[in-house]
A and B are shown apart, each in its own frame.
Chain A
């Protein structure tokens, strides 16, 4: 929409600062340490519950912001407020999440921490990220072969932009 640009210079600089902040948060939280993530996921072994504190802190703070955001038609810098509109709980959502969780448990990386670790040139993060991009491309290819498998068709415009 021309009336609500999402990439003005201010918005782009803001996004950089937000990415920087998010990355620092992940580093402080210990999320960028795959060993720590795997220790959290190992309930039976020597369990490290730290990551529950990460989620608690993050959700607690963001909860207040989203409560305010849902009442605003526009964001403070002028763009239209884009909140997810999907509501349906589909096999696609569940199977996709289960698949993601297997990958998360295999290596201890989720997407953002892998990208943060690219900044220090961590070779394992490079391999993981390239594979993750291949996985994204695989999804795009599967969508061309078997479009919207496991889902009721959702127009692209209203799809969640996570």
Chain B
């Protein structure tokens, strides 16, 4: 266990915020909050759905600024740690291609299948989530404990 980085409370609260956002999109706009699908359809320029999708993506991009503006209001010990990015450039590129292609074949990613799908009790999404979790765990195991390149 890595107790020094374990953040049960902020992760639980953050998770609930994700749930609120997914709930708002289905109840207000009648759409599933699946980020890779939204991104892919922007690339394809689907007409009627394009404005709200671009708008949602813009919200994602602006989020760190909002949090940064708010962060001045709470004490230093509650500040978010700086992100750690251990992957090399080639590995980032390969990973991106695999994520882009894989999520299209799967029709969903962590948000669409992992949050919305599981919340709908969809067996399809349960299979997808189990599969990407399993290969995620497997990949990290191979990198860190067999190849020692983590």
Contact = CB atoms under 8 A, between A and B. Distances in A.
Interface residues of A, number: 124
A18 B56 contact: yes
Main secondary structure on chain A at its contact with chain B? helix
B27 A76 contact: yes
Interface string B114-150: 1111111111100111011111111111011100001
B18 A26 contact: yes
Taking residues whose C-beta sits less than 8 angstroms from the other chain, chain B's interface range is 35 or more
Nearest to B132: A101
Contact of B136 (A41, A115, A140): A41
Contacts of A54: 11-12, 14-15, 18
Main secondary structure on chain B at its contact with chain A? helix
A35 interface: yes
A89 to B, nearest CB: 5
Contact of A25 (B17, B30, B49, B132): B17
Given A21-B20, A29-B11, A96-B107, 8 more contacts: A14-B24, A23-B63, A26-B18, A50-B7, A62-B115, A66-B120, A105-B138, A132-B97
14 contacts: A6-B49, A6-B52, A12-B51, A12-B52, A19-B59, A21-B17, A26-B63, A60-B19, A77-B29, A77-B30, A99-B102, A106-B87, A111-B109, A124-B85
Interface of A: 5-7, 11-36, 38-39, 41-51, 53-66, 68-70, 72, 74-77, 79-84, 86-89, 92-112, 114-120, 122, 124, 127-140, 142, 150, 159-162
